[in-house]
Structure 1
Amino acid sequence: MKKIAVIVLGVLVFGCGASKRSAQTQKDRDTTRVVIDKRTTGTTPTNTDAVKEAEVPKTTNYASPTEAYIAQYSGIAQEEMKLYGIPASITLAQGILESGSGKGRLSVQANNHFGIKCHEWTGERIYHDDDRRQECFRKYNHSKYSYRDHSLFLKERKRYRGLFDLKIDDYKGWARGLKAAGYATDRKYPDKLISLIERYQLHRFDHEVMGAAPRTVVSSHVKTGAKYVVEKGDTLYSISKKFNLTVERLQQLNNIKGTTIDVGQVLVVNQ
C-alpha cells in the first residue's frame, strides 16, 4: 500500500510540474510574440488586421479628391518644371483632368496619370477602352515615372517646340498651345485646364519655382512681347486682324518671309 501511495504521489507531482512548465513556456511564447510586434509596429496588436492598420499612415482630410491630388503631386510637378521648363500648373491641371484627380482606372491600376499610350513602350502595359476598345497604355511602377514620361513627351516632340518659346508662367498660352499642337481633340481642352488652374490657384506653384530660380524660356530668335500660339485654320491675315496689325508688321515682328505658318508656332503679336 505504501508503495502504491508513493507512486500516485509522484505522478501527481510530476503532472503539476509539467503543467507549470507548459504554462510558463506558452507565456514565454506569448511574451516573445508581443515584443516582436512592438518592435515592428509600435503597438500591441492582437491580430493581423491590427498590424495592417498600424502600418497605414494617417493622412490629412481634404475638402475634395482634387485638393488631395494637388497636395500629393504638386512637388513632383514643380521638380519637372525645374528640369524641363513645363509650368507646374499645366502639368498638375493635365494630371487632374486626365486621371480624374487620381481616381481613374489608368492612374489607380497603372500609375498612368496622363493617358500615355504604349507606342514604342517595352515595359509593363494595361489595356483600356479609349478612342478604340482595349487600347494599350503604359504602366509605371510609380506615379513619378508617369510625370517624367509626360515631360519627355512634350520636350522631345517637334510639334510642341513652340510652347517652350512662351514665358514659363504663361499658363494660358500653354493651355491653348497644347490644343493647337494636337495634344487633345476636345476643343474645350484649353478652357478646362485654365479653369482648373484658376480655381485651385495652381499658378502659385509656378511662382514658387520661379521665386527660387527665376527663369523665362524664350527662344533667342523671337523678340519679347505678347505672344500668340498659331491654331488650326489661322493665317497671317486672320491673326493680324485679330491684333490690329498689318501682315507686314506681323512678318517683321517674327522675322517671317512669305506667309507660311505652322500650327503650334508662337508668334509675337505686340511689342
Structure 2
Amino acid sequence: MKTTLRYIIIVVLCGFCLFTAQAQTRNRQYEEYIHKYKDIAVEEMKRYRIPASITLAQGLLESGAGKSALSRKSNNHFGIKCGGDWTGRTVRYDDDARNECFRAYKHPRDSYEDHSKFLKGRSRYAFLFKLKITDYKGWAHGLKKAGYATDPRYAYRLIDIIELYDLHKFDTRDGIKWMKEFPNPHQPYLANDLLYIVVRSGDTFKSLSKEFDISQRKLRKYNDLYKGYVLKPGDIIYLDKKHRRADKEHVVHVVRSGDSMYSIAQKYGIRLKNLYKMNKMKPEDAAPKVGDILRLR
C-alpha cells in the first residue's frame, strides 16, 4: 500500500514539474504581444489569405515581441527593408550590413498591412497562397524557401513559436469558420499598393460587405459608385480607399477603345476626381478619344 501511494505521489509530482517547466517556457512578453495584435493578424488573414499564426509568429520573431528598436521607434514589426518600390518614411539600422534602409510606419497596424502586401505582391511568394489556411508548417518552410530570411532555422523557429503559444488556434477558430461561410472566396489582387477583387456573377455589395467585413457604404465610396449601382461581372472593386495618383511605374495612359475615365481610374487605383483634376478635365467634358494621353501622376 505504501509503495503504491509513493508511486502515485511520484507520478503526480513529476507531472506537476513537467507542467511547471512547460509553463515557464512561455514568455509573458510574447503572450502580451499576441493578445495585443491577434485581432489585426486575423483581419489580415481574412483579407489576404495569410495564416494569422504565421503573421503573429513572424511579428514576434522579427520584432522581439515588439521590443526591438526598429519596432519601438519605427513600428516596423517584420524587418521589411525599403526596396526600390518604397516611397514612405525610412530609417537606418545595422542588419546584414551597416546602415541599411528599413521602412517606417505611423502605426503597427500599417506594418501588419504592409507585411501582407509585401507577401501578396511578390511572385516568389505566389505558391504559398495555394496552401490551406491551416498549413502553417507549409507556410513556414515556404517563406524560408522563398528567401524571406537568411537564418537556416527560420522555418523551425516560426513553427516552434506557433506550437508553443498555440497560435494555430487563430487559423482554425476564425479561419475555418470564415472558410465554411465563404467556401469559394474571391482571389485578392494588388494595384497601386491597394487590395481589389474582380466581381463575379451573383456578387452584390451586401455579399462583398459580409465577406470582407467592410460596409457597403465604404465599398461604394472607395470605388466612386452611387448607391443604386448594380455590380457587373468583371468590375474591379477596391477594398481600400484609392490613391490620388498612380504608382511611380505608371506616369501616363494612352486611351484605348472602350476606355472611360472611370475604367482608367479603376485600372490604376486612382480616385476619379483626382484623375479629372490631373488632366484639367471635368465630369461634364467629352470622353477622352482613342490615342489621347492622360496623366496618372
- TM-score, normalised to structure 1, is 0.56
How many Å separate the matches in 2 of 1:217 and 1:140?
A: 34
Runs of 4+ with deviation above 3 angstroms: 215-218
Q: Displacement, 1:217?
A: 8.9
1:179-258 to 2 correspondences below 5 Å: 179-214=144-179
Partner of 1:93: 57
Q: Displacement, 1:125?
A: 1.2
The equivalent position to 2:33 in structure 1, one of 69, 84, 87, is 69
The equivalent position to 2:44 in structure 1, one of 72, 80, 88, is 80
The equivalent position to 2:80 in structure 1, one of 100, 106, 116, is 116
How many Å separate the matches in 2 of 1:132 and 1:190?
A: 22
The equivalent position to 2:137 in structure 1, one of 172, 195, 198, is 172
Partner of 1:148: 113
How many Å separate the matches in 2 of 1:199 and 1:63?
A: 10
Partner of 1:245: none
SS of match in other structure, 1:197: helix
Partner letter of residue 45 of structure 2?
A: M
Q: Does residue 130 of the first structure (1) align with residue 103 of the second (2)?
A: no
Q: Displacement, 1:157?
A: 0.6
Contact 1:167 1:217 in 2 (8 A): no
Q: Displacement, 1:210?
A: 2.2
Contact 1:127 1:135 in 2 (8 A): yes
SS of match in other structure, 1:130: coil
- Please give the per-residue CA displacement for 1:164-186, whole angstroms capped at 9, x wherever unaligned: 11111000000000001111111
Q: Displacement, 1:100?
A: 0.3
How many Å separate the matches in 1 of 2:92 and 2:148?
A: 21
How many Å separate the matches in 2 of 1:211 and 1:182?
A: 28
Taking a change above 3 Å as real, the CA distance of residues 77 and 217 of structure 1, as seen in their structure-2 partners, is: farther
Contact 1:168 1:217 in 2 (8 A): no
- Alignment root-mean-square deviation, CA: 2.2
Q: Displacement, 1:208?
A: 2.0
Higher relative contact order (CA 8 A, sep 6+): 1
SS of match in other structure, 1:67: helix
Contact 1:165 1:217 in 2 (8 A): no
Q: Displacement, 1:109?
A: 0.2
SS of match in other structure, 1:168: coil
Identity among equivalent positions (%) equals: 58
Partner letter of residue 169 of structure 1?
A: T
Q: Displacement, 1:123?
A: 1.7
SS of match in other structure, 1:137: strand
How many Å separate the matches in 2 of 1:161 and 1:211?
A: 21
SS of match in other structure, 1:114: coil
Contact 1:85 1:217 in 2 (8 A): no
Taking a change above 3 Å as real, the CA distance of residues 212 and 74 of structure 1, as seen in their structure-2 partners, is: same
Partner of 1:107: 71
Q: Displacement, 1:211?
A: 3.9
How many Å separate the matches in 2 of 1:169 and 1:132?
A: 35
How many Å separate the matches in 2 of 1:93 and 1:105?
A: 18
Contact 1:110 1:140 in 2 (8 A): yes
- TM-score, normalised to structure 2, is 0.51
How many Å separate the matches in 2 of 1:162 and 1:197?
A: 21
Larger Rg: 1
- Please give the per-residue CA displacement for 1:13-55, whole angstroms capped at 9, x wherever unaligned: xxxxxxxxxxxxxxxxxxxxxxxxxxxxxxxxxxxxxxxxxxx
The equivalent position to 1:139 in structure 2, one of 88, 101, 104, is 104
Partner letter of residue 175 of structure 1?
A: A
How many Å separate the matches in 2 of 1:129 and 1:154?
A: 23
Aligned length: 159
Partner letter of residue 71 of structure 1?
A: H
Contact 1:164 1:217 in 2 (8 A): no
- Please give the per-residue CA displacement for 1:203-231, whole angstroms capped at 9, x wherever unaligned: 0111122243126799xxxxxxxxxxxxx
Higher share in helix: 1
Contact 1:117 1:138 in 2 (8 A): yes
Partner letter of residue 143 of structure 1?
A: P
SS of match in other structure, 1:103: coil
